[in-house]
Amino acid sequence: MVVDFEFSGDVCILRMHGRFATGQDSAYLRSKTDEIKKSDCLKVLADFSEVSYVDSTGIGFVIGIYTSVTKNPDGMFVLANPNERVLEVLELCKLNTVIPIFPDLASAMQALQQGRQVSASR
């Protein structure tokens, strides 16, 4: 698992790669969470296009970022491009009812730029 950061205007894009699964390096994810918090980014887009699998470890990472960003009244967090397997896990955990999920980066970016947190169906 790898998490890269990219900034596009006032949006922090988290480019996630690989399997976010139990047994992976939790210290690495904690350091990435801290890095995001220190960046003071209020608009975060998690790009899941390169995530092949997610379990409780990945879900915990996403929830941690989501809660730290949305504590601020102006904070927004969206998730984009999950594959069917990842989307199924998100739906099983009911995260799709809390975190706006978009089928592609363009629609997720547009939602953040317009300041709306509307969940898109896939």
CATH of the domain at 62: 3.30.750.24
In a domain, 122, yes or no: no
Q: Distance between alpha carbon 100 and the CA centroid of its chain, in Å?
A: 10
pLDDT tens track for 55-106: 988 898 999 999 999 999 999 999 999 999 999 999 999 999 999 999 999 9
pLDDT for the residue numbered 122: 44
Name beta bridge partners: 7. 12
Provide the domain limits for residue 73.
2-114
Q: In what order do the strands lie in the sheet with 101-102?
A: 2-8, 11-20, 43-54, 76-80, 101-102
Q: Is residue 65, in this structure, part of any structural domain at all?
A: yes
Q: Is the pLDDT of residue 117 over 70?
A: no
Model confidence pLDDT, tens digit, residues 28-63: 888 888 888 888 889 999 999 999 999 988 898 999
120 in a domain, yes or no?
no
- Number of structural domains in the chain: 1
| 119, part of any domain | no
Number of Cβ within 10 Å of residue 98's Cβ equals 14
- Residue 121 covered by a domain: no
